[in-house]
Every structure is written in C-alpha cells, then in structure tokens.
Amino acid sequence: MAENTSKNAIVTGASSGIGAATVRQLRSDGWNVIAVARREDRLAHLAQDTGATPFAADITKDDDVARLRAFATDTFAPSGGVDTVINIAGGARGVDTVANAQEEDWEWMYRVNVLGTMKVLKAFLPALREHGYGTVLNLTSTAGHTTYEGGGGYSAAKFGQHALTGALRLEEAENNIRVIEVAPGMVATEEFTLNRLGGNQEAADKVYQGVEKPLTAEDVAGVVGYAVGLPHHINLDQIVLRPVAQAAAHKLIRR
C-alpha cells in the first residue's frame, strides 16, 4: 500500500482549550478538520478564524454520533475519506474524596471521558480500517496513570480511557491503525479547572498560583499535531508531558 496522502481529521472537544488549539494547529499544518463540540457559537467563531468545518454534537449521544459519522463521510469523501480521529472531549468535576463522592459527578466524568470516546471510535473504526492508514489519538491525562487525593473520580475515568486506548492499539494494529495516547499534566486553560471547581474563579486561580510556566493548550496541541503528522509507520504509543515545575504528580514547585 502507498503511504497515507490524505490529511482529514475529526477533533472532538473543539469549542475551547486543548481542543480548539488542536484545530488551530492542524489547520496551520494543512489539515482538513471537522471541529466537533456542543457549543455552536464557539464553533462558528473557530470556523471563521481557521477555516475548519464546524459540527455541533454531543459525543455521549448515539444519534449525534451517527449524524457526525454521516456528515464526515460525505465531507471527506472527495479528499480520501476520514483518516484521523482525535478525541479531546473530556473533563473533570469536583475534588471530593471517595468517601464524599458525588455520584452524579462520577457518572458524568465516566460518560464523557470513557463512553464518549468509545462511541466516537466505534462509529469511525470501519472508515479508518477501510482507509488503510488510520490514526486515533486519545487525550488522556497523567491522572490516568497516577492517583491523588481528591482525584478519585477523574483518575478513575482517565484510567478507563487509558485502558481503552491500550486495548484498541492491540486490537487494531492488524488493520494498520496507529493509536496514540497523549497524557498531559498541569495545563492552564480557561475552563478546565474553573468547571471542575464549580465556577469558583478564585479557587481555580490558586491551582496555578506560583507555578512557573504551566503547560498551555497550545503546548499540548503542538505535541498532538507532531504525533499525527509523523509518517504513518511511526507510532508514538504514549506521550506524557508536564511543565518542568511539575516533576511528578506529587511534586510541584511553586515560587
């Protein structure tokens, strides 16, 4: 088979943060991109700025995912079909201990991070196999590799997504689908921590207080763009990236 020559990507979670930055990175690298998120207004602005194709959908809903699959199939048919699926959509809610766990928060995190990723992949794996040079990139987290107090729910969800990614790599290698995991540590974005802490801006600001140069959404997007832009036979199985100030999950330098 000839090397992959199409550059057609689907990016979920594209309305803000790492997802939006990834769309911008890929577009600057010459990719055709369908930007997927729930918030149509934000997608419209992103599309205007980048030339990406917006598609409003909730990846946890089967009907929305089915609509996305049909739309992407038609959109990318003239340029070689879907070859890359990048799952950025996810998130965290709460910092409660296991003893004080809010079940609705845990259920939301599992639904978005694990089941949403699964639904998107299940929808697009046939197209990736047919293409012959498919790529899947899942954005997980260092929280999916190491636990910490108050992070049980988020870690459980990201451990699940991490496990899903590893199994997928084994299952789809025979179909020439490369499966990449990008696991960031501390990333300062406008919404992640704010949403996790229930909209408390003061508490969100304290998370990053004194930390010299936490990662940015653009830092992570640059790594994502690099990983999916490599020749297809090179698979960066797992990429862990942290700011220098965060030597480990339990060691963070504040100045």
pTM for the predicted model, two decimal places: 0.94
Residue 2 lies in a domain: no
**Catalytic option among 133, 148, 154, 208:** 154
Residue 3 lies in a domain: no
pLDDT, residue 1, reads 44
208 labelled catalytic = no
Q: How far apart are CA 55 and CA 42, in angstroms?
A: 11
Q: How far apart are CA 249 and CA 219, in angstroms?
A: 19
- Three-class SS of residue 238? strand
Residue 234 lies in a domain: yes
- Three-class SS of residue 111? helix
Residue 102 lies in a domain: yes
pLDDT, residue 231, reads 96
Q: How far apart are CA 117 and CA 164, in angstroms?
A: 9
Tell me which residue of 63, 61, 84, 60 sits closest to 72, measured CA to CA: 84
pLDDT, residue 74, reads 98
- Full pLDDT tens readout for the chain, 255 residues: 456 678 999 999 999 999 999 999 999 999 999 999 999 999 999 999 999 999 999 999 999 999 999 999 999 999 999 999 999 999 999 899 999 999 999 999 999 999 999 999 999 999 999 999 999 999 999 999 999 999 999 999 999 999 999 999 999 999 999 999 999 999 998 877 777 788 888 887 888 888 989 999 999 999 999 999 999 999 999 999 999 999 998 899 999
Residue 53 belongs to domain with CATH number: 3.40.50.720
Q: Are 220 and 232 in contact (CB under 8 A)?
A: no
> Please, what is the Cα angle at 82 between 79 and 85, to 5 degrees?
140
Q: How far apart are CA 6 and CA 152, in angstroms?
A: 40
Q: Are 24 and 50 in contact (CB under 8 A)?
A: yes
| Full domain range(s) for residue 88 | 8-252
Total domains present in the chain: 1
Residue 1 lies in a domain: no
Residue 177 lies in a domain: yes
